[in-house]
Amino acid sequence: MNPKSKMKKAQMPSLVFFAVFIGFLTPMKLDFTKHPYFIKDVAISDNLAFVVTYNHGLRIIDVTEPKKPKEIGRYDNRWSKSRFSGFVDVSVSGNYAYLAQNTEGLKVLDISEPSKPRLINTYQSPEWITSVSVVGSLACITVHWEGMRVLDVSNPDSIREIGKLPLNDLGDNVHIHGQYAYVHEAYEHFVIDISQPNSPKQVGYFWDECFMKDIVFRGDYVFAADGGDGLLILDISKPTSPTEVGYYDYETADGNAIAVRLFGNYAYLLDENGSLYKVDISEFNGKERIK
């Protein structure tokens, strides 16, 4: 299969956010062209999109009408002087948004009034917090050079660390799926059993040639935004031995793929410059490697 014949590039303003990332088919555009910052992550809750930008914090977008997205709130602490204090990840659970802000720690925002997000707590670690994933009362964060930590967020006003697992490198991203946390560190990817949060343990491992930035789950498969390599597909039916079963080349892209979403027979990749790529995955059957 020729990857180029299956990849289509959408129209490109400098930075864009497309509605397909929130489950709608019609693309939409928000004007981020006036500010020189990158989109780092997008989280969805009901009809709200929480868009994280590195230098200008969190923007809350009402997408009730997908063709007329409206920014209704934002959180930003531009007074931070460190160039390493940018916002890098967000996870939303209930009335709270959890923002990973590198050297500035993990910010907990009360979003019960989306137009007025309010900082209620900051969890600080000795090193940079590079990503966060929250499910229920449990949060997993990756910490620069220190691996993964498990937090009890049952009381967002008073977060407690209850477990940790040292890993080999930087700790770039984490996603909770069932009883497992999937952690991506540079070229290494770990499957961690968190069924006992106070003693997480590594049960699986996968090595990749590129930096995996974002993943989504469909059945027994992971679809990953794999940095400069584009789309990577893993079989995780056996979490102890994740296996690559497909990929689409990304050589024609403008920048690293940072986010991926699935809609029907298509995977949509967003790169750090705001370009959207539509990849046909209809021929992927989970049994043969796609090249």
Q: Which residues contact 43 (CB under 8 A, 6 or more apart)?
A: 49, 50, 52, 90, 91, 92, 97
Asked if the structure places residue 95 within a domain, the reply is yes
| Token code pair at residue 57 | 């914090």
Residue 31's pLDDT is what?
47
Q: Please work out, in degrees rounded to the nearest 5, the angle formed at the alpha carbon of residue 228 by the alpha carbons of 142 and 266.
A: 95
Residues 210, 256: Cα–Cα separation, whole Å: 10
How far, in whole angstroms, is CA 92 from its chain's centroid? 11
Asked if the structure places residue 10 within a domain, the reply is no
Q: Which domain holds residue 86?
A: 35-124
Asked if the structure places residue 222 within a domain, the reply is no
Residue 47's pLDDT is what?
85
Residue 92's pLDDT is what?
96
Asked if the structure places residue 63 within a domain, the reply is yes
List Cβ<8 Å contacts ≥24 apart for 60-68.
60/111, 60/114, 60/115, 60/117, 61/17, 61/30, 62/114, 63/19, 63/22, 63/24, 63/28, 66/19, 66/22, 66/24, 66/26, 66/28, 67/26, 67/28
CA distances to 35, 69, 202, 222 from 96, in Å: 26, 21, 29, 26
Asked if the structure places residue 276 within a domain, the reply is no
Domain count along the chain: 1
Give me the residue label for tokens 């019609």: 26
DSSP letters spanning 106-154: EEEEE-SSTTS-EEEEEE--SS-EEEEEEETTEEEEEETTTEEEEEE-S
Q: Are 108 and 95 in contact (CB under 8 A)?
A: no
| Token code pair at residue 181 | 């946390």
Residue 114's pLDDT is what?
96
Asked if the structure places residue 77 within a domain, the reply is yes
Residue 250's pLDDT is what?
61
Average pLDDT of adjacent 10-residue blocks, the chain of 291 residues: 37 37 41 53 84 84 80 78 74 95 92 96 89 96 90 96 84 88 84 97 87 85 84 92 83 68 83 75 62 45
Asked if the structure places residue 53 within a domain, the reply is yes
Asked if the structure places residue 280 within a domain, the reply is no
Helices (H) and strands (E) in the chain, counts: 1, 24
Residues 249, 194: Cα–Cα separation, whole Å: 33
Strand order in the sheet with 39-45: 39-45, 48-53, 57-62, 70-75
Q: Are 129 and 164 in contact (CB under 8 A)?
A: no
